[in-house]
Structure 1
Amino acid sequence: MTDTPAALRGAVDLGALAARSRRADSGIATIDEAAFQELAQQSLQRPVVIAFISAASPQSEEMARTLEEVAASAGVGAAACDVDAQPAIAQAFQIRAVPAAVALIGGRPAPLFQGAATREQMVEVMGQVVEAARQMGAAEGLGPAGDAAPEPSEPPLPPLHQEAHVAIDRGDLDAAEAAFDQALRENPKDHEARAGRAQVRLMNRSRTADLAAVRRAAADAPEDVDAQLAVADMDVLGGQLEDAFGRLVELVRATAGDDRDRVRARLLELLEVVDPADPRVLRTRQALASALY
């Protein structure tokens, strides 16, 4: 359902993009069920801690940020789960209140704490997580004392890309788009900037959308171009790429003039969000060419 993970470097993890769109104001990206399965696999080699948070509990978001910092210093993976958006994951871990935290060690869950915790308590608990992981043979890259072996760092982002990422983290999607626009003015062949801009535009259009209302409007008015564009956005965020792309190809066939141009432009922009090597992108480009000519 989701695509190859990436953090606004080319192809995008659509589940993470949806989470960022929902939580752009807080700067915390949360996992979905597909991402959780990936974390469970990762925990076979290195422990992962998951902070359970809710928009109704500001202290839970602060806890998640602190836990991420503590985990990073110990070489442990970290993620956040929004219990409002992912009740099935919360139920699986028997989370009854937030904030809460659980570790995955060798694919097995280990409750850490439920309720507020100080940084000092988190550091102590993290040491226990690392020690348990070492005993289970699931501490790849962690030294004997629980310190992470240095990992190869990614090449630094170009300045304008970095500016866009900083803007995204503070929830200023307009500034992020402006930074990517400037990067493209300086280098029209900057494919990562083009993909980043498409992702930011998608986030901006969808951050306040009500999925049920969007789907209802599209079903009630199949000829309404704006309604169909909106539901295609939501389908892409949800990883339903074939539905989104197929909808817009058919809309290209059914429209003319300015409306057709708008639909074509939106479809091409949404294709930028996905890994260009994805076979669905190639098939859609071929279908679009057929619809146009």
Structure 2
Amino acid sequence: MTDATGGAVLRGAVDLSALRNRPQAAAPAQAPGSLPLVFDATDESFPQVLELSRRVPVVVDLWAEWCGPCRQLSPVLEKVVTELAGRLVLAKVDVDANPQLQQAFRAQSIPMVVALVAGQPVPLFTGAVPEQQVREVFAQLLQVAAQNGVTGTVGEADADADAEAEPELPPLHAEAYAAIEAGDYDRAIAAYRSALAENPRDEEAKAGLGQVTLLARVAELDPVAARAAAAEAPLDPQAQFAVADLDVSGGHVDDAFDRLLDLFQALPTDERAPVRERLLELFGLVGDADPRVVRARGRLASLLF
């Protein structure tokens, strides 16, 4: 956690005043203490989240569908928040669908986790961190909240009902999620491959396989060494692939695509195939409809033809 937790005075790194003052979208009335522990937040609903933070600390998880580390971290956040039984709530923000919140929180890299206490932001951490570290950070957050008079809770009943309403994951998907949470990426990859062998049209398994494959590659990298190697060997595909993986996993998608497209352009025609294959893999991971993919596909097409 940053030094924002060092005392009772909150020193948020971002200015949320514009979001706070936006007209609030209508929402169904809810009795006090009946809010769920985990919920989605949007640009439109965020004023209500700020108001909620005056009663109970709100942890904000900034994530995206294409982000492998986000898929690793989110189940950990949900687990710890649920175990705290209403002393914290978790607001999940899809940065691709909510660009104003991404800008307000200055989310240059995801997953990014911040908290709101009495309407003020408290930076927590960036990137996937171990469960024990999440517990320690949340314990500090509760202390900061208490120092600022935010000691309310929300009820567990609705959260339990929501959890029961969630569709049960297919067994192989559940196995993959458990393996990812444990850091066993090989087992997760095997589970997703088995799911695809049973149903080749399983889009969730395809997406999961791509994400956990990226996670496995990144887990083996030393970021500093990888970037140094790429700088020393600008035409070495493997060196450039490593940094592109780091960039995608950290949310710097355009940087990853530009790096590989520059490499594709610089290589002789007969050496380009592996670069094109890696680009196509990353396009699928981010999503064909993503504007960054559309832009990169256009440049790739111009280089091919």
What TM-score bracket applies, with the shorter chain setting the length? 0.5 to 0.7
2:52 maps to which of 45, 69, 77: 45
Could you tell me which residue of structure 2 aligns to residue 216 of structure 1?
A: 228
1:202 maps to which of 190, 214, 226: 214
Specify whether residues 255 and 242 from structure 1 end up closer, same or farther in structure 2 by C-alpha distance, changes over 3 A only. Answer: same
- The superposition leaves residues 48-67 of structure 1 with CA deviations (integer Å, 9 ceiling, x where unpaired) of 467xxxxxxxxxxxxx9995
Unaligned runs of 5+ in 1: 1-38, 51-63, 80-101, 111-116
1:279 maps to which of 277, 287, 291: 291
Q: Which amino acid aligns with 2:289?
A: A
Q: Which amino acid aligns with 1:161?
A: H
Q: Which amino acid aligns with 1:268?
A: L
Could you tell me which residue of structure 1 aligns to residue 83 of structure 2?
A: 70
Give the distance between the partners of 1:67 and 1:252, measured in 2 at CA.
44
Unaligned runs of 5+ in 2: 1-45, 60-76, 92-113, 123-134
Could you tell me which residue of structure 1 aligns to residue 195 of structure 2?
A: 183
| Counterpart secondary structure, 2:200 | coil
- The superposition leaves residues 91-150 of structure 1 with CA deviations (integer Å, 9 ceiling, x where unpaired) of xxxxxxxxxxx974332479xxxxxx9xxx99x98xx79x9465xxxx7xx3xxx44524
Specify whether residues 42 and 216 from structure 1 end up closer, same or farther in structure 2 by C-alpha distance, changes over 3 A only. Answer: farther
**TM-score (norm: length of structure 2):** 0.54
Q: Which amino acid aligns with 1:167?
A: A
Tell whether 2:249 aligns with 1:237.
yes
Could you tell me which residue of structure 1 aligns to residue 280 of structure 2?
A: 268
Specify whether residues 191 and 288 from structure 1 end up closer, same or farther in structure 2 by C-alpha distance, changes over 3 A only. Answer: farther
Could you tell me which residue of structure 2 aligns to residue 56 of structure 1?
A: none
Could you tell me which residue of structure 2 aligns to residue 98 of structure 1?
A: none
Q: Contact 2:195 / 2:202 at 8 angstroms: preserved in 1?
A: yes
Specify whether residues 280 and 105 from structure 1 end up closer, same or farther in structure 2 by C-alpha distance, changes over 3 A only. Answer: same
Query: How many angstroms does 1:236 deviate by?
Result: 0.9
Could you tell me which residue of structure 1 aligns to residue 11 of structure 2?
A: none
Could you tell me which residue of structure 2 aligns to residue 149 of structure 1?
A: 158
Give the distance between the partners of 1:212 and 1:245, measured in 2 at CA.
20
Q: Which amino acid aligns with 2:83?
A: V
- Corresponding pairs, count: 200
| Counterpart secondary structure, 2:158 | coil
- The superposition leaves residues 216-238 of structure 1 with CA deviations (integer Å, 9 ceiling, x where unpaired) of 11111111111111111111122
Q: Which amino acid aligns with 2:250?
A: G
Query: How many angstroms does 1:187 deviate by?
Result: 2.5
**TM-score (norm: length of structure 1):** 0.56
Give the distance between the partners of 2:257 and 2:212, measured in 1 at CA.
19
Tell whether 2:119 aligns with 1:107.
yes
